[in-house]
């Protein structure tokens, strides 16, 4: 076992390929950033649908949330990459193919829009109705009430939960290697095929993700908490 | 001086499902007058007030704000235009916790009336001065006492320069030591000629400051008249019972 | 698109086999995660010298992506420890490790939510610490965290799709095999997605119902 342990912890090969691997990590961040933007926008939209006055509108929002929140990330990624282009191709009468990066962003964006929608909805419904009435009593339009009273507070209240979901999303970007997006895991498996030394490479990948996520999550959580405290005392 | 009353309420009914809360209420509020509404909980006072600024929609009847038919307006935009002329002060203050005191007061003049930042700022500071809270302008509401928060809420309503102010049990959530500062501000407003409808349990205030007192019971106005009449010599038996309980 | 019958209905045996494997691996992983999570939690709370070790493990399992853990357990552990011997085992071990990190935190929150006075009442009645824990604290913790446990099970089900990558013949694996055989992905992948969504939705709904019952019957708020 000790030979294996020494091999696993001999990260020199990981270090050797660090440039290639870091470029892969950058891809994880690109996918994360784009998917996060999509997920936030779609999630906010779905949440607003779910608190709408009319029942069919609420129903549409709930449908969106329940489909995407319950779908496994990997299944969604595969479906968006292999099925969606075909369906769209039928619709416009041409043969379509999605670049892997696009499929990844769409798939993860959709899945996480489901989670964010729930977070936003819970936040919106936690705002005391009196504050909304005070806004209306001043003659504020629904749009003003939403953007000036509801959303600023939703962001503050739901920040810890949202940070958790961002962390999950970043972790989820590792699966994009499976549709050939050249992220860290993809390059690790490429290098493994070349160097035939899986132990240090996979161990190195695990440690890298651990370090990034642990540090980043701790920093962001601490900063978010300080920002919240400023207003809520 | 126009003879149109600031607020006219005609035969207003309001039911929530099978529960009838208002069963035909009518009264006028002349410009510059202070009208107090007293009565037991559940008598419909708050519901009536909320119908006036359309936070509730009456099931039947008419409500005119300076001639505008508030009860029948369809679009939110039209309703909001009339709401600009009404200021409401809530029992729970309902200040916006993520904005400073000044931020709370400046918000509506800027975003709803569209005033420039400097104009709105000056107006807000003037309103804060009227409620004696100029020094707290940069604090967040959470750091203020209940009485202070309610005075900020009054300043916020005043900043829209409304034609009438609606007070929905403005002191009911306050500790007794803190109600006086709020009542003092309300007295000043009355003295300055503000048109006010005050739903309250503060009988002494109602007696001293109102031009007219309405006693509501079970969704109807049982007694209406000048304070001396209603408090001194009420005609309705229920009103007498209510007052005897309150004026210990 | 009468392909539905040819591609999905006719292959239902394969799909059901895959689903059986999925259910099996998820249940084993879930049981292992509960044991592992409880162990980590108790060590962290009550075994002073091992506290940093437990904390480090919890943080490691939570911060590492499941896919990375899966590959790591599958390719690295056999060299290091000579175990796991099969892809299936590697699959549930990885899933269990990931979830035990989260469950350790869930259990901790649950234990800390039991009012201290109850433990003291037990001790005053003459119970030992261990007995008080077993008869008073633990039952309440289990009731309180039950909805969170159900939620974690849905996470396991969703993550289990990745074990197909290390050739465990779960539902995802079978459906991809069918796609490669018949070269027509639309019906089969859509059906697979629908199955997963429905299963997760059903489990989720169960969890919500459970939370409602607990709140109404015992006045416990889910943690």
Query: How many A-C residue pairs are in contact by the CB < 8 A criterion?
Result: 111
Whether C154 and A70 lie within 8 Å, measured CB to CB: yes
Alpha helix segments (H runs only) across chain A: 2-9, 12-16, 18-50, 55-69, 73-82, 84-92, 100-125, 129-137, 142-144, 151-172, 184-195, 198-232
Assign residue B161 a region (left: φ > 0; alpha: ψ between -120 and 50; beta: otherwise).
left
pLDDT of residue B101 exceeding 50, the answer is yes
C201 → closest Cβ in A7, A66, A202? A66
Look at residues B203, B12, B169 and name the one whose alpha carbon lies nearest to residue B94.
Answer: B169
Cβ atoms of residues B68 and B53 within 8 Å:
no
Query: How many A-B residue pairs are in contact by the CB < 8 A criterion?
Result: 75
Quick one: pLDDT at residue C112?
A: 87
Q: Which two tokens stand for residue B182?
A: 């709020």
Q: Which two tokens stand for residue C42?
A: 């108790």
Quick one: pLDDT at residue A233?
A: 44
Winning range, highest mean pLDDT, from B239-243, C23-27, C141-145:
C23-27
pLDDT tens for C158-183 read 999 999 999 999 999 999 999 988 88
Q: Which whole number is the average pLDDT over B3-13?
A: 90
C33 touches chain A (CB under 8 A): no
pLDDT of residue B2 exceeding 70, the answer is no
Whether A141 and B80 lie within 8 Å, measured CB to CB: yes
Cα A156 from Cα B99, distance rounded (Å)? 12
Cβ atoms of residues A96 and A113 within 8 Å:
no
Give the chain B residue nearest A151 (alpha carbons): B98
Look over chain B and give the mean of its residue pLDDT values, rounded to a whole number. 93
Whether B94 and A231 lie within 8 Å, measured CB to CB: no
Look at residues A230, A227, A207 and name the one whose alpha carbon lies nearest to residue A219.
Answer: A227
Would you write out chain A's pLDDT as a tens digit for each of its 233 residues?
577 777 767 778 878 888 888 899 999 999 999 999 999 999 999 999 999 989 999 999 999 999 999 999 999 999 999 999 999 998 898 889 999 999 999 999 999 999 999 999 999 999 999 999 999 999 999 999 999 999 999 998 888 889 989 999 999 999 999 999 999 999 998 988 888 888 888 888 899 999 999 998 888 888 888 877 766 64
pLDDT of residue C152 exceeding 70, the answer is yes
Whether A131 and B108 lie within 8 Å, measured CB to CB: no
A161 touches chain C (CB under 8 A): no
Quick one: pLDDT at residue C221?
A: 60
What angle, rounded to 10 degrees, do the helices at B146-158 and B117-130 form? 130
Q: SS3 breakdown of chain B: % helix, strand, coil, rounded to 5?
A: 40, 25, 35
pLDDT of residue C194 exceeding 90, the answer is yes
H or E stretch including C54?
A: helix C51-63
pLDDT of residue C1 exceeding 60, the answer is no
Whether A70 and C200 lie within 8 Å, measured CB to CB: yes
Q: Residue with structure tokens 């077993």?
A: C134
Q: Which whole number is the average pLDDT over B77-98?
A: 94
Topology of domain C3-218 in CATH is MetI-like fold (1.10.3720)
The dihedrals phi and psi of B223, each to the nearest 5 degrees, come to -145, 135
Cα–Cα distances (Å) from C79 to A10, A15, B94, C73, C209, in that order, read: 14, 21, 64, 10, 45
Chain C residues with CB-CB distance to A202 below 8 A: 68, 71-72, 75-76
Chain C: touching chains (3 or more CB pairs < 8 Å): A
pLDDT of residue C222 exceeding 60, the answer is no
Quick one: pLDDT at residue A222?
A: 86
Give the chain B residue nearest A148 (alpha carbons): B107
Alpha carbons within 13 A on the beta-carbon side of A78: 23
Q: Which residue has the higher pLDDT, A3 or B171?
A: B171
Give the chain C residue nearest A208 (alpha carbons): C64
Quick one: pLDDT at residue A230?
A: 67
Quick one: pLDDT at residue A9?
A: 74
Chain A residues with CB-CB distance to B92 below 8 A: 128, 130
pLDDT of residue B157 exceeding 80, the answer is yes
Indicate the DSSP class of residue B139. S
- Touch criterion met for B and C (3+ Cβ pairs within 8 Å): no
ipTM: 0.90
Whether B53 and A140 lie within 8 Å, measured CB to CB: no
In CATH, what number is assigned to the domain containing residue A228?
1.10.3720.10
Quick one: pLDDT at residue C223?
A: 44
Name B87's bridge partners: B165
Q: How close A178 comes to chain C (CA, Å)?
A: 9
pLDDT of residue B59 exceeding 70, the answer is yes
Largest Cα–Cα separation, chain A: 74
A136 → closest Cβ in B83, B96, B98? B83
Whether C157 and A71 lie within 8 Å, measured CB to CB: no
Counting the structural domains of chain A, the total is 1
Distance of CA B134 to the CA centre of its chain: 23
Whether the bond between B217 and the residue before it is cis, its omega within 30 degrees of 0, is no
pLDDT of residue B248 exceeding 70, the answer is no
Chain A residues with CB-CB distance to C66 below 8 A: 171
B160 → closest Cβ in A138, A149, A152? A138
Q: Residue C184 — pLDDT band, cuts 50, 70, 90?
A: confident
Cβ atoms of residues B128 and B134 within 8 Å:
yes
Cα A215 from Cα A170, distance rounded (Å)? 13
Chain A: touching chains (3 or more CB pairs < 8 Å): B, C
Cβ atoms of residues A44 and A116 within 8 Å:
yes
Quick one: pLDDT at residue C62?
A: 93
Q: How close C76 comes to chain A (CA, Å)?
A: 5
Cα B180 from Cα A105, distance rounded (Å)? 60
Cα C40 from Cα C51, distance rounded (Å)? 9
- Cα four-point dihedral sign A179, C25, C56, C144: positive
Q: Which whole number is the average pLDDT over C73-97?
A: 92
Among A163, A202, A203, the strongest candidate for a mutation testing the C interface, having the largest count of C CBs within 10 A, is A202
Whether B90 and A133 lie within 8 Å, measured CB to CB: yes
A38 touches chain C (CB under 8 A): no
Q: Do you know the residue count of chain A?
A: 233
Q: Residue with structure tokens 């437990």?
A: C54
Look at residues B55, B88, B56, B94 and name the one whose alpha carbon lies nearest to residue B173.
Answer: B94
Whether C68 and A83 lie within 8 Å, measured CB to CB: no
Cβ atoms of residues A129 and A58 within 8 Å:
no
Chain A residues with CB-CB distance to B112 below 8 A: 138-140, 144
Residues near B240 by Cβ (< 8 Å), separated by ≥ 6?
B234
Quick one: pLDDT at residue A1?
A: 57
Chain A residues with CB-CB distance to B123 below 8 A: none
Quick one: pLDDT at residue A196?
A: 84
C83 touches chain A (CB under 8 A): no
Q: How close C170 comes to chain A (CA, Å)?
A: 13
Chain A residues with CB-CB distance to B98 below 8 A: 152-153, 156, 231
Winning range, highest mean pLDDT, from A150-159, C192-201, C205-214:
C192-201
Largest Cα–Cα separation, chain C: 72
Chain B: touching chains (3 or more CB pairs < 8 Å): A
Which domain range does residue A228 map to? 2-232
Cβ atoms of residues C220 and C143 within 8 Å:
yes
Whether A133 and B76 lie within 8 Å, measured CB to CB: no
Quick check: helix, strand or coil at residue B90? coil
Q: Which residue has the higher pLDDT, C126 or B197?
A: B197
Quick one: pLDDT at residue B109?
A: 94
Write out the DSSP string of A71-138.
S-HHHHHHHHHHTHHHHHHHHHTS-----HHHHHHHHHHHHHHHHHHHHHHHHHHTS-HHHHHHHHHT
C162 touches chain A (CB under 8 A): yes
Quick one: pLDDT at residue A131?
A: 95
CA-derived radius of gyration, chain B? 18
- Cα four-point dihedral sign C99, C104, C109, C115: positive
């Amino acid at each position: 076992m000790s030979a294996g342990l020494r091999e696993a912890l001999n990260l020199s090969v990981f270090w050797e390929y660090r440039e290639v691997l870091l470029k892969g990590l950058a891809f994880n961040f690109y996918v994360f950033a784009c998917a996060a933007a999509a997920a936030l926008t779609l999630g906010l939209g779905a949440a607003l649908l779910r608190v709408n006055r009319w029942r069919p509108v609420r129903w549409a929002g709930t449908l969106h949330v329940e489909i995407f929140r319950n779908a496994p990330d990997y299944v969604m990624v595969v479906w968006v990459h292999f099925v969606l282009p075909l369906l769209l191709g039928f619709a416009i009468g041409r043969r379509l193919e999605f670049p892997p990066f696009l499929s990844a962003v769409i798939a993860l964006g959709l899945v996480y829009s489901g989670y964010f929608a729930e977070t936003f909805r819970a936040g919106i419904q936690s705002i005391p109705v009196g504050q909304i009435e005070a806004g209306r009593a001043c003659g504020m339009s629904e749009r003003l009430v939403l953007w000036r009273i509801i959303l600023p507070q939703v962001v503050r209240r739901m920040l810890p939960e949202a940070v958790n979901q961002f962390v999950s999303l970043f972790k989820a970007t590792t699966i994009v290697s499976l549709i050939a997006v050249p992220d860290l895991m993809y390059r690790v498996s490429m290098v493994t095929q070349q160097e035939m030394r899986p132990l240090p490479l996979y161990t190195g990948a695990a440690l890298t993700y651990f370090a990034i996520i642990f540090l980043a999550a701790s920093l962001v959580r601490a900063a978010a908490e300080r920002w919240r405290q400023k207003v809520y005392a | 001086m126009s003879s149109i009353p600031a607020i006219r309420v005609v035969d207003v009914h309001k039911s929530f499902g099978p529960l009838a809360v208002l069963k035909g209420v009518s009264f006028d509020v002349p410009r510059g007058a202070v009208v107090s509404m007293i009565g037991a909980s559940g008598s419909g006072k708050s519901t009536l007030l909320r119908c006036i600024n359309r936070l509730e929609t009456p099931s039947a009847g008419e409500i005119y704000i300076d001639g505008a038919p508030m009860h029948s307006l369809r679009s939110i935009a039209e309703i909001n235009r009339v709401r600009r002329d009404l200021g409401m002060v809530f029992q729970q203050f309902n200040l916006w916790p993520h904005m400073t005191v000044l931020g709370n007061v400046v918000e509506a003049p800027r975003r709803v009336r569209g005033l420039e930042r400097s104009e709105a700022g000056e107006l807000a500071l003037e309103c804060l001065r009227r409620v004696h809270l100029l020094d707290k302008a940069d604090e967040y509401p959470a750091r203020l006492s209940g009485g202070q928060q309610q005075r900020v809420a009054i300043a916020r309503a005043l900043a829209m320069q409304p034609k009438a102010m609606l007070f929905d049990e403005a002191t009911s959530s306050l500790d007794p030591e803190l109600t006086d500062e709020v009542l003092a501000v309300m007295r000043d407003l009355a003295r300055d000629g503000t048109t006010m409808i005050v739903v309250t349990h503060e009988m002494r205030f109602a007696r001293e400051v109102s031009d007219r007192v309405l006693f509501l019971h079970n969704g109807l106005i049982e007694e209406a008249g000048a304070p001396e009449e209603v408090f001194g010599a009420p005609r309705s038996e229920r009103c007498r019972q209510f007052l005897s309980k309150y004026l210990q | 698109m009468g392909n539905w019958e040819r591609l999905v209905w006719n292959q239902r045996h394969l799909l059901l086999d895959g689903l059986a494997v999925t259910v099996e691996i998820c249940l084993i992983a879930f049981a292992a995660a509960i044991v592992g999570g409880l162990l980590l939690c108790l060590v962290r709370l009550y075994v002073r010298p091992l506290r940093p070790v437990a904390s480090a493990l919890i943080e490691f399992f939570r911060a590492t992506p499941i896919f990375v853990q899966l590959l790591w357990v599958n390719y690295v552990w056999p060299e290091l420890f000579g175990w796991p011997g099969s892809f299936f085992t590697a699959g549930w071990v990885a899933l269990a490790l990931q979830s035990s990190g989260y469950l350790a935190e869930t259990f901790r929150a649950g234990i800390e939510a039991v009012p201290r006075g109850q433990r003291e009442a037990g001790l005053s009645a003459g119970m030992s610490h261990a007995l008080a824990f077993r008869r008073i604290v633990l039952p309440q913790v289990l009731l309180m965290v039950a909805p969170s446990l159900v939620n974690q099970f849905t996470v396991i089900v969703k993550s289990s799709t990745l074990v197909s990558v290390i050739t465990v013949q779960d539902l995802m694996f079978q459906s991809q095999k069918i796609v490669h055989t018949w070269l027509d992905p639309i019906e089969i992948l859509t059906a697979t997605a629908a199955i997963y969504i429905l299963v997760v939705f059903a489990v989720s709904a169960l969890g919500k119902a459970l939370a409602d019952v607990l709140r109404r019957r015992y006045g416990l708020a889910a943690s």
